[in-house]
Amino acid sequence: MTVCVRWKRVLLQIPSICDVMHISFRKGAVSLERVRTFLRRSGTRPLYITLLWDDHNWIPVSVEYSDGPEEPTSREEIMAGVHLVLVIQELYAHVHRWREFTLRTTSVVQIYQALSLMSRPSIHPAHMLEKLHLQLIHNKNHATHHRHEQSLFPSSTPPIRDLLLFGVTCDWLPPSMLSSHLLNFWIHNKVYEIDDVVSHLFGGLPNLQSLSLEPEPQTIVSLSRRPITLPQLRSLAIKSRSMGNWAHDFLRNVCMPNLRILTLDGVGEEYSEEPLRWRGPSSHECILEALVELADRDAVENSLSYCLELDELHFFNFTQDAKAVLVHRLYKQMTAVKTLTLGPGAPDKNAALAKGLLPTPSGLADLPLPGLRTLILFDVPNDVVRGVVLERTSAAAPLKELYYREEVVDKKHKSISNDWSHHVGKYHCVDSLKSFRYGDIVERQWSQL
């Protein structure tokens, strides 16, 4: 638009170039005028909105969980909250045009302000909204909903396909939002029973394809015995420090016949100041036992359960020093797995899970994960990796792709030289451990040397 007057005039006549808005609290008072300009120039187009009100300076240093908002601690946070209210008020008048809406904040006050504004009755229903991401990040508090409060988007039935709640409880949602339209559902919040989350899965999500559960470690675990069916679910991610107490029941009681990608993250100690009350020498063994049962075709045929046929299996912070027999049985039964990740955070350096990949004297007839093509390894000793690569190659089951974070042998961060990397189709030496989404794990978007 700054090239010349003619170009500007032409561009202003194309509303489709003005229907995506990313705006930050750093714009201050100017943010409201930018929103008004955005709304005016976009005409009647569907709107794609992202509001970034996340500032690390607003993160409470040490606070206990509470059910209500805290008082703002700085003038900057107060003024940012005022600007956010004005922006959402302006946008909410056009809620019937919302196609995607994302709000990310570090302030519990601001998330309550936003939720309250979006719970007001509107002349126009949110009939186009397909993506809703509400995130209260880096904050131990959660935005809980009280019975006397309205749910989001009253008198509307938005066809939500993509829903993310981080630090926001499910009670803010109207029942109609969890419908057959929903395809992807991510939830991280403070729930007192896993049933509080699972109860939202009963019967109403026949087309759900991706589910991520991240209950916090304070969860008092129990799981309803009522069977749940998620017939179209293809990807399940569970991230919880108390996973050993309830995930095995979830896997057994939730029928997922089309599940192909499973990610299990026990969460490292660096993510919480709470003691690891649930961890023990067998905290994750029951999960492996559940996977063994579900992958056993003979056992499944004689029960009402489903047969687990995964394409991808990902372990992170999986602390179980698993029994070799159990790991081998699991790997032998999972004949369809093509990608395996043994991620960082395992105190035993993933030794048991990695050694389970070694062929047995029986050869191909008893080969663990016979369909394995891509292997992603962290914290695994170099000699174990060498044995896996060479022995699987000699057993006529070479890897097509290997991602490995090599061991560091000196302060100059030099890695151990290897004589086995040329035995795989493609070898990638991983440098960074950063992965921001479960999708990064699945797509193997790791930084490489």
Phi and psi for 31 in degrees, rounded to 5? -60, -40
Handedness of CA 148, 149, 150, 151 (dihedral sign): negative
Q: How far apart are CA 398 and CA 205, in angstroms?
A: 40
CA distances from 275 to 29, 139, 202 (A): 43, 18, 33
For residue 220, give the 3-state DSSP assignment: coil
Q: How far apart are CA 178 and CA 163, in angstroms?
A: 9
Q: How far apart are CA 264 and CA 169, in angstroms?
A: 22
Series of mean pLDDT values for 10-residue runs along the chain (449 residues): 88 84 86 91 93 80 51 75 93 95 92 94 92 90 87 91 92 86 87 61 81 71 67 92 81 90 78 44 77 82 73 85 84 93 79 86 72 90 88 83 76 59 85 52 45
Least Cα distance to 386 among 350, 346, 355 occurs for 355
Phi-psi category of residue 361: left, alpha or beta, with phi > 0 → left and psi -120 to 50 → alpha = alpha
Domains with residue ranges and CATH for the chain: 15-58+75-182 (no CATH), 260-268+280-409+416-448 (3.80.10)
298-314 b/e with 16+ CB inside 10 Å = b?
Answer: eeeeeeebbebbbbbbb
Least Cα distance to 212 among 165, 171, 245 occurs for 165
CA distances from 174 to 89, 169, 399 (A): 20, 12, 48
Least Cα distance to 134 among 152, 156, 155 occurs for 152
Q: What one-character DSSP code corresponds to residue 151?
A: P
Phi and psi for 68 in degrees, rounded to 5? -135, 170
For residue 113, give the 3-state DSSP assignment: helix
Rounded (10°) CA dihedral 168, 174, 176, 177: -20
